[in-house]
Amino acid sequence: MTVIPAENRLQQQPITETLEKNYMPYAMSVIVSRAIPEIDGFKPSHRKLLYTMYRMGLLGGARTKSANVVGQTMKLNPHGDQAIYETMVRLTRGNGALLHPYVDSKGNFGRVYSRDMQYAAARYTEVRLDKLCEEIFAGLDKNSVDFIDNYDSTTKEPLLLPAAFPSLLVNSNQGIAVGMASNICSFNLTEVCKAAVAYIRDPGCDLLAIMPAPDFSTGAELIYNRAEMEQIYRTGRGSIRLRATWRFDKKNNLVEIVEIPYTTTAEAIIDDITGLVKQGKIREINDVRDETDLSGLKIALELKRSTDPEALMQKLFRFTSLQSSFPCNFNILVNGTPRVLGVRALLGEWLAWRRVCVRREIVYDLEKKQDRLHLLRGLEKILLDIDKAVRIIRRTEKESDVIPNLMAGFGIDAIQAELVAEIRLRQLNRQYILQRTADIQTLSDEIADLQNMLANRERVDDQICAGLERIAAKYGQKRLTKLVQEKEIESFEPDQLIEDFNLRLFLTEHGYIKKLALTSLRSAGELKTKEEDKIVQEIEGKNKSDVLFFSDCGNVYKLKCYDIKDHKPSDLGEYTPNLLEMDEGERIVFIHGTEDYAGQILIGFGNGKFARIPLNAYETKTNRRKLVKAYSTASPVVRIFFLEADDDFVAVSNIHKVLVFSSAKVPAKATRSSQGIQVLLSKKGSTMISCRRLSESNIADDKYYRTRKIPAVGTYLKEETLQDRQLGLDSI
């Protein structure tokens, strides 16, 4: 039997301990060393790539194959050639992802606005650093930043790059770490530099007045809302709405989309539009074509005749990615710690870091000048007695004693003596030495100036501002993304996509509702219903009208006509309890369609009372589907009518008493729950069993049933007052 050693056996371990030992180091590595940009505006992968190109002499030099750069970068970045090349692609001018690219490229690098346009392989494309990188690397050779070992300690790389402008704001940067993410939009270089200068002069300045909004490499339009922008500038979080720019070719009846939001692609937009056309939600488009070429992006929409292009684009902005949002999350690393900063705080952190870089450059220059001055002081002493220097060297027996003897003879140190000893014989003349020592005063003045600058923060800030102003003048460009005020944007309602047409609604006794377009009704035969079912009400309206469903429980349900599916004459219709989600046993007794809620509702109750309620009492600001206590339930409802104007009605009781009255005698009540006024009086416990319009009744002699005042008991029915005596009470 084989015995497994104890150290090789599976052992139980608390999950918290496992996470701490194994997962947390990975998570921190992703956050700190991969996904989140730092104050210089770069992720480690960007920094390693650009620094490699800088070391290869590609700043101002000729282009080289991308594969060459990728291979060299692997000395600093061990993540593989494909990952490095993808990083390079996004930084290139050819890809267009950055407002100010760092890599000047030649060849096919795809396009940021295209999902399907693939970039060429690294062996086919060529790259070099863009001129802007002069400002990224300026001061790198003057000890402006710290250097660290690479992953295998075979070479050094900069911890940060001494960017002379807030590159973090100038180019967009996205990253997803473990448990956090970063999404930084780009801003116009000229505006960023001016805002940085203004912030240095006055930290409380109005940044929005100088740098009003982000600027994207794909252009498009930014829907400007100052309150939203203030939130982003203050907190570093928020959302920016972008929408495409377009033009109308009237001659060819084409809409040409020429700029799209940064967050989408041409293919995604075409897919969205095609989907809407297939679903029947957009009927104005005959064809969609991607006409993107070397001159830039273009999506052509071929329109049907008489189409309003402005109205169509409003629909497309609402339902496609022609209008989309850029979610801002200004999460950056500051001294190795992730922090979400607003624009003002971010400029403050950049300024503090940039001051350190500039001071280190000043210290570097100061030390170099002090070293040079120190050497010149030694030459100055030699000037006093050149012959003595020659004599010391000639009389020295060993070469190793030359430096000590010169030090002793002139009172100079080893470095100064080394310089004297290295002077060639032909240079041992007063002219040479005088020329070399002529810069002593100039150097002394420069050293004093540098020391003063180190001690004076305002002078350091002046130097930073001068650099920002120079960069803005040299590399600045016009804003690509146009600002559109939110109040100038036309609002779009979803029902604009819905076709409006004339229709007729039918309500059956068993509670089915059927919707038929008038065009289909003209050619329709008999309308189908269930056995023993019949149509009890029909109304005409439009597809965008509201429909009110009055139930026998005092509730009113509201729907848009287009929420009821279209039917054929042979269809039974939709069952209202299911359509309206009604209570068990509840049934619909009356329906009415309206667009403006004009007119009134007349409700007759079993106790002989009638209530007259304005229809606008059922109009609500919110789209509530159910209004409870929509009318009184003190007595069962007998009949409901819609009144456009006053009309005559016939009320009938269960003891054959009949009363004809005008609705003008029933006063309107503002409250929906009004019980109304008594119209038909009860006699010996009688109740009203029916009511209808006089014009729809079978009564020929209505004067016989009228009274001067209401309420009234009514008059017994006489057959001789009916037009058709065979119909009886049901016809009244």
Q: Tens digits of per-residue pLDDT, 190-211?
A: 999 999 999 999 999 999 999 9
Q: What's the whole-number mean pLDDT along residues 140-169?
A: 94
Q: Which residues pair with 246 in a beta bridge?
A: 257
At 286, list the tokens. 């005959």
Q: What three-state secondary structure class fits 504?
A: strand
Amino acid letter for position 318: R
Give the total residue count for the chain.
Answer: 732
Q: Is 181 exposed, middle or buried (0-12, 13-18, 19+ CB in 10 A)?
A: middle
The confidence score (pLDDT) of residue 290 equals 93
693 pLDDT above the threshold of 80: yes
Amino acid letter for position 239: S
Q: What is the pLDDT of residues 56-72, one digit of tens each?
A: 999 988 999 999 999 99
646 pLDDT above the threshold of 80: yes
Whole-angstrom Cα distance, residue 656 to residue 716?
6
Domain end (from 545, 563, 587): 587
Band (681; pLDDT cuts 50, 70, 90): very high
Asked if the structure places residue 281 within a domain, the reply is: yes
| Greatest mean pLDDT range, 348-362, 366-380, 436-450, 531-545 | 348-362
Q: What's the whole-number mean pLDDT along residues 155-164?
A: 94
Q: What's the whole-number mean pLDDT along residues 151-177?
A: 92
726 pLDDT above the threshold of 70: no
Q: What residues have CB less than 8 Å from 560, skipping those under 6 apart?
A: 495, 544, 545, 546, 547
Asked if the structure places residue 215 within a domain, the reply is: no
Asked if the structure places residue 210 within a domain, the reply is: no
The confidence score (pLDDT) of residue 188 equals 97
Among candidate residues 339, 166, 329, 324, the one with its CA nearest the CA of residue 232: 329
Asked if the structure places residue 199 within a domain, the reply is: no
The confidence score (pLDDT) of residue 493 equals 63
The confidence score (pLDDT) of residue 420 equals 80
At 202, list the tokens. 């006055």
Q: What's the whole-number mean pLDDT along residues 363-379?
A: 90
Examine the domain organization and report whether 626 and 711 are in the same domain.
yes
Q: pLDDT higher for 624 or 57?
A: 57
**Cβ contact 593:621 at 8 Å:** no
Whole-angstrom Cα distance, residue 676 to residue 653?
18
Examine the domain organization and report whether 353 and 283 are in the same domain.
no
Q: Is 687 exposed, middle or buried (0-12, 13-18, 19+ CB in 10 A)?
A: middle
CATH number for the domain including 124? 3.90.199.10
Q: What residues have CB less than 8 Å from 596, skipping those under 6 apart?
A: none
Q: What is the pLDDT of residues 497-549, one digit of tens each?
A: 677 788 999 999 999 999 988 877 766 667 888 888 899 999 999 988 999 99
Examine the domain organization and report whether 68 and 99 are in the same domain.
yes
To the nearest 5 percent, what fractions of the chain are helix, strand and coil? 40, 25, 40
Among candidate residues 183, 324, 318, 309, the one with its CA nearest the CA of residue 259: 324
Q: Which residues pair with 347 in a beta bridge?
A: none
Q: What is the pLDDT of residues 119-150, one digit of tens each?
A: 999 999 999 999 999 999 999 999 999 999 99
Examine the domain organization and report whether 513 and 605 are in the same domain.
no
How many CB atoms lie under 10 A from the CB of residue 727? 11
The confidence score (pLDDT) of residue 455 equals 92
The confidence score (pLDDT) of residue 17 equals 77
According to DSSP, the β-strands at 535-542 and 600-605 are unpaired
* Backbone phi and psi for residue 612, each to the nearest 5 degrees, phi listed first: -120, 115
Amino acid letter for position 558: K
Q: Which residues are catalytic?
A: 124
1 pLDDT above the threshold of 60: no
How many CB atoms lie under 10 A from the CB of residue 708? 5
The confidence score (pLDDT) of residue 440 equals 86
Q: What is the pLDDT of residues 106-117, one digit of tens each?
A: 999 999 999 888
Q: What's the whole-number mean pLDDT along residues 34-56?
A: 93
Q: What is the mean pLDDT of the chain?
A: 89
Examine the domain organization and report whether 274 and 375 are in the same domain.
no
Band (6; pLDDT cuts 50, 70, 90): low
Would you say the C-alpha torsion 253, 259, 263, 266 has a positive or negative sign? Answer: positive
Q: Is 516 exposed, middle or buried (0-12, 13-18, 19+ CB in 10 A)?
A: buried
**Cβ contact 534:514 at 8 Å:** no
The confidence score (pLDDT) of residue 731 equals 58
CATH number for the domain including 453? 1.10.268.10
Band (7; pLDDT cuts 50, 70, 90): low
Q: Hey, which bits of 134-193 come out as E strands?
A: 147-149, 156-158, 173-176, 181-184
Domain end (from 441, 475, 509): 475
Band (599; pLDDT cuts 50, 70, 90): very high
Q: What's the whole-number mean pLDDT along residues 417-435?
A: 78
Fill in the DSSP letter of residue 438.
Answer: T
Q: What three-state secondary structure class fits 722?
A: strand
CATH number for the domain including 272? 3.30.1360.40
Least confident interval from 222-231, 354-363, 566-575: 566-575
Q: What residues have CB less than 8 Å from 610, skipping those under 6 apart?
A: 602, 603, 604, 663, 666, 676, 677, 679
Q: Does the pTM of the predicted model rise above 0.75?
A: no
Q: What's the whole-number mean pLDDT along residues 307-330?
A: 92
Asked if the structure places residue 311 within a domain, the reply is: yes
The confidence score (pLDDT) of residue 5 equals 66
Band (30; pLDDT cuts 50, 70, 90): confident
Amino acid letter for position 114: S
Q: What's the whole-number mean pLDDT along residues 296-316?
A: 90
Examine the domain organization and report whether 405 and 535 are in the same domain.
no
Asked if the structure places residue 93 within a domain, the reply is: yes
Examine the domain organization and report whether 286 and 371 are in the same domain.
no
Q: How many domains does the chain have?
A: 5
The confidence score (pLDDT) of residue 724 equals 65
Examine the domain organization and report whether 719 and 605 are in the same domain.
yes
At 60, list the tokens. 């101002």
The confidence score (pLDDT) of residue 622 equals 74
Q: In degrees to the nearest 10, what's the CA dihedral of 64, 65, 66, 70? A: -90
The confidence score (pLDDT) of residue 649 equals 95
Domain end (from 125, 145, 162): 162
Q: What's the whole-number mean pLDDT along residues 383-394?
A: 82
**Can you spell out the DSSP letters for 676-723?**
-EE-B--STT--EEEEEEGGGSSBS-GGGGB-SSSSB--EE--GGGBS
Residue 706 backbone zone (phi > 0: left; psi -120 to 50: alpha; other: beta): beta
Fill in the DSSP letter of residue 494.
Answer: G
The confidence score (pLDDT) of residue 557 equals 95
Q: pLDDT higher for 606 or 279?
A: 606
At 102, list the tokens. 């760092």
Whole-angstrom Cα distance, residue 170 to residue 184?
9
Q: What's the whole-number mean pLDDT along residues 440-468?
A: 93
Q: What residues have CB less than 8 Å from 687, skipping those under 6 apart?
A: 606, 607, 608, 653, 654
430 pLDDT above the threshold of 80: no
Least confident interval from 151-160, 266-275, 382-391, 682-691: 382-391
Least confident interval from 332-336, 516-520, 662-666, 719-723: 719-723
How many CB atoms lie under 10 A from the CB of residue 6? 7
Residue 461 sits in which domain range? 349-475
The confidence score (pLDDT) of residue 660 equals 93
Asked if the structure places residue 329 within a domain, the reply is: no
Q: pLDDT higher for 440 or 609?
A: 609
Examine the domain organization and report whether 732 and 619 are in the same domain.
yes
Whole-angstrom Cα distance, residue 150 to residue 158?
9
Asked if the structure places residue 661 within a domain, the reply is: yes
The confidence score (pLDDT) of residue 418 equals 86
Q: What's the whole-number mean pLDDT along residues 646-662?
A: 92
CATH number for the domain including 633? 2.120.10.90
Among candidate residues 4, 120, 132, 130, the one with its CA nearest the CA of residue 66: 120
Examine the domain organization and report whether 449 and 431 are in the same domain.
yes
Buried b (16+ CB within 10 A) or exposed e, 486-510: eeebeebeeeebeeeeebbbbbbeb
% of the chain residues with pLDDT over 70: 95
Among candidate residues 253, 450, 462, 271, the one with its CA nearest the CA of residue 370: 450
728 pLDDT above the threshold of 60: no
Examine the domain organization and report whether 423 and 308 are in the same domain.
no
259 pLDDT above the threshold of 60: yes
Examine the domain organization and report whether 580 and 601 are in the same domain.
no
The confidence score (pLDDT) of residue 671 equals 87
2 pLDDT above the threshold of 80: no
Whole-angstrom Cα distance, residue 151 to residue 143?
21
